[in-house]
Amino acid sequence: MPDSLSQPATRDPDAIRRASWILGALLLMWPLLHIAQFRPAELFDSRNLAVMGGFVGGFFPPVLTTEFLSLTLKATIETLAMATAGVVLALLIAAPLGLVLSHSLSISRIGPGPGRGTGEAVRTLSRFTLLLLRGIPEIVWALLLVRAFGLGPAAGVLAIAITYGGMLGKVYAEILEAGDTRPARVLLEAGSGRLMAFFYGLLPGAAQELASYTVYRWECAVRASVIMGFVGAGGLGQLMDQSMKMLNGGEVSTILVIFLLLVLLADAISVGLRKLLA
Amino acid sequence: MSTVTFDERRRALGFCIYCWTTMLLLAVLVWACFAYLSLDWSLLFSGESAGYMVQFIQRFFPPDLSSEFLQRIAKGTLETLAISALGTLLAAAVGLFLALPAAGRLGGLPKAATRFFLNFLRSVPELVWAALMVMAAGLGPFAGTLALALHTTGVLGRLFAESLENVPSQPTQALVESGASPSLAFVYGTLPSITPQLIAYSMYRWEMNIRMATVLGFVGAGGLGQMLYYELSLLHEAQASSVIIAMLILVVFVDAISAWIRRRQMRPGG
């Protein structure tokens, strides 16, 4: 507009819109603050300050006795083993369900024929199963399984297997559908079985992506199994939970450092493996 | 006739010593993991424990669907949503504030220091922050909000810093050269071009935080998780199973919404 060009605006031309956005957001936030019992003053409550101060004060120096370090080393290996075993078991769930779910291996899709209804029913059922497995967070599974199998890593391994089985199965099916599905289709049309069509028609094109995603999930599983111990499912988390309950700051800071190193290590391994695959 | 090199023949035969060694190594490692954990498989597959498992599962049915308990679940769900929303909002605000030094706008030393701080915030899992915050702020949803905010600040701060580094500098420079103050130049030159990205990152983290907020209660940080932990420790399996169903519905619902939004964004003109 020529008017505004000759006369430089002295205030924000968008001010009203911006102000109404901020006002709306604040109005929305008010009940949220109330529900979440947002009371920053509690942080400075003298009792809380004393507990927290004593605890954090104990962070230095970290406990570095050989006895405690060997304990944490054992827990660290246990954490890694839990994640790895969990992901391997998850594969046992994910691979068959992923294959069942993938439309690119559907014979009934090729043409009208018998079995279409059954095929869709099985597919819906397996999709629902995967949704149920991954819809419940892994730590909830762990909390339940600890009650069934007792304290220790078994519950953690199974919890990871269940949740990650659900995640991997869904993503596997998606990967198999997203790539070039024509070879598999040709094989199916020529009369080969589903498994053969998968091995010769789909796997060569999708293997790298499947493996890469599995490695990425392993990295996530390491992070998950680190905290699994807070509900009693073994590993570093359990050790940390104990040290926290005893308000032993020195032990907690040692475990925290190992936490960070472990996550970094898993990250590096995952990135390295995925580069190797690319 | 062209000659076939050794390398080509080897590839044609599908033999790759690198791959096979890797596979072998992986197999050994996996075996070692199972051996180390020495899992008791009989627990899983013997008939006796199967009967026990069936009994265990049966106790969760039917779920408690009395209107009184459903009201408590609704309250817990609302609390979970509030924790995740507030935690993410706080993290977005602090993250943007810390992203400025982390993107190197204040020189090299502040950049390194903030990056280290953000990495630290990010590396400590939410649940550990929650356990610490329960100590600092007492039991309840406030501790959960703080825990999510701390971890998410690390994540968002880093992402925001990356957006800031990649934003074209010409608009800001033009404003500075025509006499605007640096802060105004930032608000009008830089911020508008990264706002969509900032909002997208924050929404994505909010989605993840809703999922996280459902379980933070296990260490006493409010929401549905605290209800589940409480009911399970009282051996109220029927109530616990209602809470689990509520969690499942919440997670699936959030998943569906975010998938729907992503599909809409991918559609051209949508």
Of A39, A131, A237, the CB nearest to B142: A39
| Cα–Cα distance for residue pair B132/A134, rounded to 1 Å | 28
Residue A97's pLDDT is 92
Domains defined along chain B, listed by start: 6-58 (no CATH), 67-266 (1.10.3720.10)
Q: Are residues A45 and B251, on separate chains, in Cβ contact within 8 Å?
A: no
Torsion of CA A133, A134, A135, A141, to 10 degrees: 70
Q: What is the pLDDT of residues A10-60, one digit of tens each?
A: 677 778 888 898 898 888 888 888 888 888 877 787 777 877 787 777 777
Q: Which chain A residues are within 8 Å of B36, Cβ to Cβ?
A: 77-78, 81
Closest-CA distance of chain A to residue B194, Å: 16
CB of B148 within 8 A of CB of B83? yes
Confirm or reject contact between A207 and chain B (CB < 8 A).
no
Closest-CA distance of chain A to residue B248, Å: 5
Tell me the residues of chain B between 115 and 154 that have a Cβ less than 8 Å away from chain A: 120, 123-125, 127-128, 131-132, 135-138, 140-142, 144-145
Count the neighbouring beta carbons within 10 Å of the beta carbon of residue B155. 19
Q: What is the pLDDT of residues A131-157, one digit of tens each?
A: 889 888 889 999 888 888 888 888 899
CB of A200 within 8 A of CB of A231? no
pLDDT, tens digit only, all 270 positions of chain B:
456 676 666 665 565 777 788 788 889 988 998 888 887 776 666 777 777 788 888 888 888 888 888 999 999 999 999 999 999 999 999 999 999 899 887 888 889 999 999 988 988 889 989 988 888 888 889 999 999 999 999 999 999 999 988 888 888 889 889 888 888 888 888 888 888 888 889 988 998 899 899 989 888 888 899 999 988 888 888 889 999 999 999 988 888 888 888 788 766 543
**CATH code for the part of the protein at A66-277:** 1.10.3720.10
- Name the amino acid, one letter, at B45: F
Mutate to test the interface with A, among B42, B119, B127 (most CBs of A within 10 A): B127
Q: Are residues A36 and B123, on separate chains, in Cβ contact within 8 Å?
A: no
What chain A residue is nearest to B33 in terms of C-alpha separation? Answer: A81
Closest-CA distance of chain B to residue A139, Å: 7
Q: Are residues A135 and B40, on separate chains, in Cβ contact within 8 Å?
A: no
State the first-to-last Cα distance of chain A, in angstroms, to the nearest integer: 55
Q: What is the pLDDT of residues A164-173, one digit of tens each?
A: 999 999 999 9
Residue B13's pLDDT is 59
Q: Please give the sequence-ordered ranges of beta strands (E in DSSP) within B164-218, or none if there are none.
A: none
| Cα–Cα distance for residue pair A146/B233, rounded to 1 Å | 12
Q: Who's near B262: CB < 8 A, 6+ residues apart? A: none
Residue B114's pLDDT is 92
- Name the amino acid, one letter, at B186: F
Residue B149's pLDDT is 94
| Cα–Cα distance for residue pair A190/B35, rounded to 1 Å | 45
Of B127, B141, B211, the CB nearest to A37: B141
| Cα–Cα distance for residue pair B39/B31, rounded to 1 Å | 12
Q: Are residues A84 and B142, on separate chains, in Cβ contact within 8 Å?
A: no
In 3D, which of B77, B92, B231 has the Cα closest to residue A36?
A: B77
In 3D, which of A135, A204, A219, A205 has the Cα closest to residue A169?
A: A135
Q: Are residues A157 and B39, on separate chains, in Cβ contact within 8 Å?
A: yes
Confirm or reject contact between B200 and chain A (CB < 8 A).
no
At B166, give phi and psi (nearest 5°).
Answer: -95, -5
Of B40, B82, B251, the CB nearest to A36: B82
Write b or e for each residue in A106-138: b if 16 or more Cβ atoms lie within 10 A of its Cβ, otherwise e. Answer: bbeeeeeeeeeeebeeebeebbebbbebbbbbb
Of B141, B225, B251, the CB nearest to A36: B141
Confirm or reject contact between A89 and chain B (CB < 8 A).
no
Surface-to-core class of residue B189, CB atoms within 10 Å of its CB (0-12 exposed, 13-18 middle, 19+ buried): buried
DSSP per-residue codes, chain A: -HHHHHS--SS-TTHHHHHHHHHHHHHHHHHHHHHTT--GGGGG-HHHHHHHHHHHHTTSSPP--HHHHHHHHHHHHHHHHHHHHHHHHHHHHHHHHHHHH-GGG-STTTSS-TTHHHHHHHHHHHHHHHHHHHHS-HHHHHHHHHHHH-SSHHHHHHHHHHHHHHHHHHHHHHHHHHS--HHHHHHHHTT--HHHHIIIIIHHHHHHHHHHHHHHHHHHHHHHHHHHGGGT-SSHHHHHHHHHHTT-HHHHHHHHHHHHHHHHHHHHHHHHHHHHH-
Q: What is the pLDDT of residues A73-117, one digit of tens each?
A: 999 999 999 999 999 999 999 999 998 888 877 777 676 667 777
At A20, give phi and psi (nearest 5°).
Answer: -70, -35
Q: Please give the sequence-ordered ranges of beta strands (E in DSSP) within chain B, or none if there are none.
A: none
Q: Which chain A residues are within 8 Å of B141, Cβ to Cβ?
A: 35-37
In 3D, which of A118, A120, A117 has the Cα closest to residue A103?
A: A120
- Name the amino acid, one letter, at B112: A
pLDDT at A241 over 60: yes
Of A42, A48, A154, the CB nearest to B40: A154
Q: Who's near B204: CB < 8 A, 6+ residues apart? A: B258
Q: Are residues A48 and B135, on separate chains, in Cβ contact within 8 Å?
A: yes
Q: Which chain A residues are within 8 Å of B228, Cβ to Cβ?
A: 140, 143
| Cα–Cα distance for residue pair B245/A161, rounded to 1 Å | 20
Q: Which chain A residues are within 8 Å of B252, Cβ to Cβ?
A: 131, 135
Give the number of A-B residue pairs with CB atoms closer than 8 Å: 139
